[in-house]
Amino acid sequence: MPLTRGVIFDFIGTLANVKDYDMEGSKRKLHKAIQQSGFNVGLNDFLEAYSDAHEKYRLVRYEELVEVTNAIWISEALNKLGFKTTPEDECVKMAVNVFFEDYVNSLELRPCAKQVLEEVSANYVMGLISNFTYAPVIYHGLRKLNIARFFNAVLVSEEVGWRKPNRKIFEEALKRLRLSASETVYVGDSPLEDIAGAKSVGMKTIFIPSQFYSQGDLRMSKQQPELIVEDICKLRARLPNFLKTEA
């Protein structure tokens, strides 16, 4: 069996928690940014149009596993309300940045996460794959938490075009890292997006419960990762031997 040469992590949930985030507050800030850009539209009318666009593309994102960025939702909501915009308009891009300010600020590293990354990156090629509708949020979050330097490649679904568990985003990660699936371990918290997705291309997998997914969710999914740990501190203790014995 090939030696393990690389480890790929999920980001939000696996390495970072989202603490005290207020989605409704972000929506209100988004509306205010839209108004300040000259779009005279009431809060309720805008949120209803935005919600309709979000639901339309949620189906595309979760059923077809094609990523659709927030700028498209915002532009479509405004156009439904009688304006003429495109996702490339500067006012729309600015509004997306305003919308995610509080989300980025809510990110915090899980205990032991940085130590794990420091130790693994000393001996293995490192990658990160994140499902997210706006790639700058992920890059900003990695810099804010001071962990961007550990990764040889970072893939965000908004840039790649495909969402986990679509095998294409995993294959692209392996290509960029110059690794084969059989010499790569994937670490994540989502039974479907992370464990099933990584297994579909032949990677070994490690499951870590998070604020979003429990071991009960893993059991219900019927997925069988090669290793299950309770938290990242437990991963830190068990990962060195796992990587060697899985070789």
97: Cα separation from own chain's centroid = 17
pLDDT (0 to 100) of residue 89? 96
Domain's final residue, options 105, 121, 143:
105
Q: 1 lies in a domain?
A: no
Same domain, 52 and 140: no
Exposed, middle or buried by CB within 10 Å (0-12, 13-18, 19+), for 43? middle
Say yes or no: 11 and 124 in one domain.
yes
- Tell me: do 238 and 136 sit in the same domain: yes
**Domain-ending residue, one of 51, 75, 105:** 105
pLDDT digits (tens, 9 = 90+) for 72-124: 999 999 999 999 999 999 999 999 999 999 999 999 999 999 999 999 999 99
Q: What percent of the chain is predicted at pLDDT more than 70? A: 99
For residue 96, what are the domain limits? 23-105
Q: How far is CA 53 from CA 22, 30, 149, 212, in A?
A: 20, 15, 36, 24
Based on the fold, state whether residues 76 and 179 are members of the same structural domain.
Answer: no
Instruction: For residue 198, give both structure tokens.
Output: 């990584």
Predicted local distance difference test score (pLDDT) of residue 1: 59
User: Bridge-partner residues for 18, per DSSP?
Assistant: 107
Q: Which of 78, 105, 132 is the last residue of a domain?
A: 105
> For residue 78, how far is the Cα from the chain centroid?
27
Q: How many separate domains does the chain show?
A: 2
* 226, containing H or E segment: none
Could you say which residues of the chain have pLDDT below 70? 1, 246-247
State pTM to two decimals: 0.95
CA gap 92, 98 in Å, rounded: 10
Q: Are residues 123 and 216 in the same domain?
A: yes
